[in-house]
Amino acid sequence: MKYKLTDETKEFFGRTLHRIVCVTAFANVASGELGGWIENEKNLDQCGNAWVYGDALVCGDAWVYGDARVCGDARVCGNAQVCGDAQVCGDALVCGNAQVYGDARVCGYAWVYGYAQVCGDALVCGNAQVCGDARVYGNALVCGDARVCGYARVCGDAMVYGDADYIVLKNNWSSGRYFTYTLSNKMWKVGCFFGTGEELIKKAYEDSELSGKCYEASVKYVEELIRIKEGLKCKTE
């Protein structure tokens, strides 16, 4: 055991949470040091270096484990999981069936919910929201008032500050899967593929003529959208 529940409690949406206290020193947490709030021991693993700090709270069926840290006034609830070396801090909220793992960070007033995943070295901050089945990973940055949702995939070195920074399309000619273009790095994410439009078209034609022509049309469609947008922008400047 690295911690136990104290008798200090507080109510959170009808749930009784207990402040935790460290009983066996580990990592940078000293024996006797008070932590944040959890509903029961199912919320925070007794193994590893995971910890809930300050006024942060974890409840419901949420689980924090590995070397993860939840701190500040952050909230992790529902069936959410925070693990690996991930950090959830500030006033961030992770809930639903969301997962935050790897070296990912969710901070500020950011929300991650639904079945969303934030992993790798990704950073979600500000008032950003990641929801639905969206996935943010790699060295991607989602911040400001951006909302990444649906089946969007934001990865690599992509930066998303608003809804206009990415485009999601659907393959309705074969697999039915969604694929994403991010404007900041001009890259496409299609299943396991990650690369430029030219690379995507080449790979698609190797699969089949139908796939090649459809992905080629998708790339040209997005390029035309960007040209129109940039042209209108120039006229207003």
Task: Let me know whether 108 and 224 are in one domain.
Answer: no
pLDDT for the residue numbered 161: 95
Same domain, 228 and 141: no
Supply the range of the domain harboring residue 224.
Answer: 164-237
Look up residue 74 and give its two tokens: 């952050």
Helical ranges in the chain per DSSP H? 197-207, 209-236
Looking at the structure, do residues 76 and 121 belong to the same domain, yes or no? yes
In terms of domains, do 112 and 183 share one?
A: no
Dist. CA 196–CA 210, nearest whole Å: 19
Identify whether residues 5 and 56 lie together within a single domain. yes
What is the pLDDT, as a whole number, of residue 232?
Answer: 74
Q: What domain count does the chain have?
A: 2
Inter-residue contact 101 to 89 (CB < 8 Å): no
Using DSSP, state whether 10 is helix, strand or coil: strand
Cα 163 to the center of its chain, rounded Å: 16
81 in the same domain as 182: no
Both 219 and 125 in one domain: the answer is no
Give the mean pLDDT per block of 10 residues along the chain (237 residues): 97 96 96 98 97 98 98 98 98 98 97 97 97 96 95 96 93 94 96 96 96 97 91 68
Which CATH number goes with the domain that contains 40? 2.160.10.10
pTM exceeds 0.85 for this model: yes
Shared domain for 42 and 103, answered yes or no, is: yes
